[in-house]
């Protein structure tokens, strides 16, 4: 009983670890604008500073009940409210929070504003208000109309962007604009005839199956040794007697021949024994099955 409880506990702990491993660690601060002069406009037609969050997971993420704050001593400053369907961020997508200090305007309006000409620390805490998921300090040197963004969504270095040339400001969209799949392009340019991919792929396929092959060669050796030891123990054969009598292994032909001989011996019906045996069969009487009750007493002529 105790053993079962222990195993169940371990399984539960394992599940809990697995669940936490797939939690909100994929939520990233992705881009921030402190002073919004001519950039995105909110639902009320106004411009405010904004904070962009990015779901770097390849699965949707629910962010209600996480906390967004600009004060490390007050991690629970703005709780993202429950009950809004828009707080479920699709895989690899973005969401913008307006730093306008007016949370009454909706889920995506924070209860603080970002301060120009000073460092702005921004943190995102998990639902427990203790686990810091991501944080960034936006430097005071960020000029009005510029944003502070990761070079690549969710992972890249932070850099200042001024919306000039390819230095895009990208509220609620990818920080890096891709028109094509980089991997495909790379193979197209550097491996025109496919030889490199073929070489790499065949090496990988061979090594995967070679490892499996070596592993099972070892396992089969160990298994054979165990099987032999068990067989010897079952027949009471010691190591010394084995050296004298035992063969290495039974070949398939030998086993088949023994099997056939046994079958012939026990099951063959070529010659019957020709002995007739008459045994008396006793059947216990029951009025329910008596023939007398099933017959007419006066048969019709």
CB nearer to another protein: pick between 121 and 216: 216
Q: Which of 211, 257, 261, 262 binds another protein (CB under 8 A)?
A: 211
* 59 makes contact with another protein (CB under 8 A): no
> Tokens representing 124?
């995102």
Cβ neighbourhood burial of 58 (10 Å; 0-12, 13-18, 19+): exposed
* 227 makes contact with another protein (CB under 8 A): yes
Tell me the site size for another protein, rule CB under 8 A: 39
Q: How far apart are CA 97 and CA 106, in angstroms?
A: 10
Cβ contact 83:64 at 8 Å: yes
* 91 makes contact with another protein (CB under 8 A): no
Q: Is 274 left (phi over 0), alpha (psi -120 to 50) or beta?
A: left
Minimum gap (Å) between residue 223 Cβ and another protein: 5
* 229 makes contact with another protein (CB under 8 A): no
CB nearer to another protein: pick between 56 and 87: 56
Minimum gap (Å) between residue 279 Cβ and another protein: 40
* 194 makes contact with another protein (CB under 8 A): yes
Q: Which of 137, 141, 181, 241 binds another protein (CB under 8 A)?
A: 181
* 21 makes contact with another protein (CB under 8 A): no
* 11 makes contact with another protein (CB under 8 A): no
Cβ contact 177:163 at 8 Å: no
Q: Which residues pair with 178 in a beta bridge?
A: none
* 4 makes contact with another protein (CB under 8 A): no
Q: Which residues in 234-273 contact another protein (CB under 8 A)? A: 249, 251-253
Q: Which of 207, 241, 289, 290 binds another protein (CB under 8 A)?
A: 207
Q: Binding segment for another protein among 12-20, 65-73, 137-145, 207-215 (CB under 8 A)?
A: 207-215
* 219 makes contact with another protein (CB under 8 A): yes
* 208 makes contact with another protein (CB under 8 A): yes
Q: Binding segment for another protein among 3-11, 138-146, 154-162, 222-230 (CB under 8 A)?
A: 222-230
Minimum gap (Å) between residue 222 Cβ and another protein: 9
Binding residues vs another protein (CB under 8 A): 181, 183-184, 187-188, 191-195, 197-198, 200-202, 204-217, 219-220, 223-224, 226-227, 249, 251-253
């Amino acid at each position: 009983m105790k053993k079962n409880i222990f195993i169940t506990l371990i399984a539960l702990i394992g599940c809990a670890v697995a669940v936490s491993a797939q939690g909100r660690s994929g939520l990233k601060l992705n881009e921030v604008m402190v002073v919004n002069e001519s950039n995105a406009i909110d639902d009320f037609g106004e411009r405010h500073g904004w904070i962009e969050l990015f779901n770097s997971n390849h699965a949707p993420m629910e962010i209600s009940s996480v906390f967004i704050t600009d004060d490390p001593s007050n991690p629970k400053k703005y709780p993202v409210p429950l009950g809004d369907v828009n707080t479920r961020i699709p895989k690899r997508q973005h969401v913008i929070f307006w730093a306008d200090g007016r949370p009454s305007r909706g889920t995506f309006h924070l209860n603080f504003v970002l301060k120009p000409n000073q460092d702005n620390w921004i943190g995102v805490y998990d639902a427990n208000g203790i686990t810091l998921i991501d944080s960034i300090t936006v430097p005071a040197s960020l000029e009005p109309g510029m944003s502070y963004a990761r070079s690549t969504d969710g992972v890249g270095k932070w850099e200042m962007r001024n919306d000039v040339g390819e230095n895009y400001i990208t509220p609620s969209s990818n920080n890096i604009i891709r028109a094509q799949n980089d991997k495909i392009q790379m193979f197209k340019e550097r491996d025109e005839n496919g030889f490199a991919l073929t070489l790499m792929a065949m090496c990988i396929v061979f090594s995967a199956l070679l490892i499996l092959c070596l592993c099972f060669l070892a396992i089969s050796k160990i298994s054979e040794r165990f099987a032999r030891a068990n067989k010897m123990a079952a027949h009471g054969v010691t190591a010394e007697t084995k050296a004298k009598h035992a063969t290495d292994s039974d070949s398939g032909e030998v086993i088949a021949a023994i099997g056939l001989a046994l079958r012939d011996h026990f099951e063959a019906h070529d010659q019957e024994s020709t002995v007739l045996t008459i045994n008396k069969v006793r059947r216990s009487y029951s009025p329910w099955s008596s023939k007398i009750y099933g017959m007419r007493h006066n048969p019709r002529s």
